[in-house]
A and B are shown apart, each in its own frame.
Chain A
């Protein structure tokens, strides 16, 4: 556990010493958060901008006020994991970008796979906590599993929690890839054979 935290600190130190990666992580986190909060009303937003003759300021006012939905339309738990997913998503993608820039594609690939799973799981968990997750609520009945959500103790919010866990795992693995890759480990035998190591 201490090793993971050490890796995490070292990786953060390396990646976020560059302001461009801080900007990338911040922008992605904000984008993910906006998408999560606006997701239930993307149709409305489209309708407002394409079909209404109201002034642009009125349209923008509505879109911005919909962000208040994080308080009124999310439970404490779902608001918590939505914010956590957004932040972790931004940080993870920025670190993957750093790995790719260092041309460590194999390590990045593994993390992209885990990160993608986390994002899919997070999207499944989006929605009104007590009144049906938007995607699962629509998909499960068509799969003949309408009662499946009721069987889950948190009515589908489990996917949001799973998403946070997967993103954390991804972040720890990527931190290890970054922190422990500055030197190739040499075994004691090799040192014994060759004497000293310069």
Chain B
């Protein structure tokens, strides 16, 4: 507090000294102008300049101004960098992750011109009914539509179980490949009641057994938590693409045009939308 007051006092004194020196020089300059205007002009300007610079240096005002200027510049640069980073993050998040055969679970003809990417939650009853709708549409499409499944566990209303089931489906894929993943998903939706009422300790090993997976390896995979990150990545991508509830789907035409579809819409709507995507050039 004292230092601050002293600093302010010194600044006022310094400023006063500068003003006094300037005033004295101005008076002497005015006087000089009346006596010998022609010869004194250049010398007078030089004298005023030197005196003001000397005063400014001695009072430390220049240093303080320079320091403050540098501080403001650094702050501005920092703010601009933060804003740039935010924009880049937003742009990255808004990007729909392209379908990759090595990473995604694909059902139907992998070379199909139209893709339905579904973000789904194993505990959502609407995902359960929509699973059958999409299965029917893809089966009937004669290789024109492929189906990609990504995870969108809604922790707020299906805590713990939805994520664990998503990880279990990844364990099925790890141990039995793409086919095992889809067998797991089909059987899971057949067997379970949804709305977080699934007895996961019984159902998950049961499905693993039924689809021919090694029970011990499946249990070990599930306990390891090694697919949790992938589930989280899918979830983040679902939000980034605009998903706010499940099932959330994006239909991608051959030209890359995207149609977002929210909810468990009826067969007729899904079929017509896929036909429209097939007609896109």
Which chain A residues have a beta carbon within 8 Å of chain B's beta carbons?
Answer: 40-41, 43-44, 47-48, 51-54, 58-59, 61-62, 65-66, 68-69, 71-73, 127-128, 130-134, 137-138, 140-141, 146-150, 155
- Docked pose: A137 CA to B246 CA in angstroms: 11
Whether B269 and A68, one on each chain, are in contact in the complex, defined by CB atoms closer than 8 angstroms, is: yes
Number of interface residues of B (CB under 8 A): 39
- Do A146 and B156 have beta carbons less than 8 Å apart? yes
Given A69-B269, A130-B124, A132-B156, also A137-B262 (CB < 8 A): no
A58 touches B269 (CB 8 A): no
Q: Is the CB of A128 within 8 A of B266?
A: no
Q: Which residue of B lies closest to A54 (CB)?
A: B276
Residue of chain B at shortest CB distance from A128: B245
Bound Cα distance A114, B215 (Å): 59
A40-B245, A53-B280 known; A131 vs B272 contact (CB < 8 Å): no
Which of B22-30, B110-118, B125-133 lies at the binding interface?
B125-133
Contact in complex: A41, B157 (CB < 8 Å)? no
- If A131-B127, A137-B244 touch, whether A72 touches B276 (CB-CB below 8 Å) is no
**Are B261 and A131 in touch, CB under 8 angstroms?**
no
Binding site for A on B (CB under 8 A): 121, 124-127, 129-130, 133, 154-157, 159, 194-195, 242, 244-247, 257-266, 268-269, 272-273, 275-276, 279-281
Residues of B within 8 A of A147 (CB): 156
5 closest residue pairs by CB, A with B: A68-B266, A132-B245, A40-B262, A65-B269, A73-B263
- Asked if B269 contacts A62 (CB within 8 A), the reply is yes
Given contacts A44-B259, A131-B154, contact A72 B275 (CB under 8 A): no
Q: Are B272 and A62 in touch, CB under 8 angstroms? A: yes
**What are 7 contact pairs spanning A and B, CB under 8 A?**
A52-B280, A58-B279, A65-B268, A73-B264, A130-B125, A131-B126, A131-B245
Q: Would you call A132 and B260 a contact (CB within 8 A)?
A: no
Structural contact, A48 and B259, CB atoms closer than 8 A = yes
Kindly name the residue among B257, B263, B272 whose own CB sees the greatest number of chain A CB atoms within 10 A. Answer: B263
Residues from chain B with a CB closer than 8 A to the CB of A69 are 263-266, 269
